[in-house]
Amino acid sequence: MTRRRREHERQAVVFGLLIAFLLVVALGALAAYTGAISTPFSRPIYTPVAATVQPEPCLPPVKGQPDGALPVPYEDIRVRVFNASETGGVAGANAEVLTERGFDVRETGNMNSQVEQSELRFGTKGITRAYTLAAQIPDLRLVLDDRDGTVVDLLVGNRYTPPLAEDQVLLTADTPLQDVEGCVPADEITPIAKVEPAQSVKTAA
């Protein structure tokens, strides 16, 4: 009799705990349904939004040149070359090539942040100069920023592509430059803020 009574007591405890657990679950479900408590399932699901990529600017029209802007003489293009990659030495290597070709390289250095694809950054007064420089280096983007003046910055990115050999550069002084595909007039683009390097070295006066 004593053993049977103990078995009944254990069964009563087990059933009691089970009923209490089911009651707690039911109350929790009711509270979640009515919004009294917040659950992971009641939170909105956010989908990451892709960053907006600024369009590349078209060449400006040039009075007296109905076929378009001509390349700018290399010696008239002031360039700053900055490393925006995880690979050391690429700013100096590019600056050396451009200097040998006659570009007026003024400064080299390192950026605070990296870019994947190499970029040319310039203001509205430097668009034709940027297009002329872009003919030297494949696979880069043209980025309009809010600087004044005509200086063009080359940011060497992680997907670094070295300058073309000189005989592969398709530029002649009397052949107009061509707009990049999908370009937008500069006055329809909101320029990004100009960013200065973390450290730099001036290479010319």
21-69: per-residue pLDDT in tens? 555 555 555 454 444 444 443 333 333 333 458 999 999 999 988 899 9
In order of 21, 22, 78, 94, 100, the CA distances from 72 in angstroms are: 80, 80, 11, 19, 17
pLDDT in tens, 89-100: 999 999 999 999
Q: Tell me phi and psi for residue 118, to 5 degrees.
A: -60, 150
Neighbour count for residue 123 (Cβ, 10 Å)? 19
Q: Tell me phi and psi for residue 96, to 5 degrees.
A: -65, -45
Say if pTM beats, i.e. exceeds, 0.85. Answer: no
Distance CA(126)–CA(132), nearest Å, equals: 10
Distance CA(183)–CA(15), nearest Å, equals: 74
Least confident of 50-54, 76-80, 141-145, 167-171: 50-54
Q: Is the pLDDT of residue 7 over 50?
A: yes
So what's the pLDDT on residue 34?
Answer: 44
So what's the pLDDT on residue 19?
Answer: 62
Least confident of 44-48, 58-62, 144-148, 168-172: 44-48
Neighbour count for residue 95 (Cβ, 10 Å)? 24
Band (162; pLDDT cuts 50, 70, 90): very high
So what's the pLDDT on residue 47?
Answer: 35
Distance CA(130)–CA(142), nearest Å, equals: 7
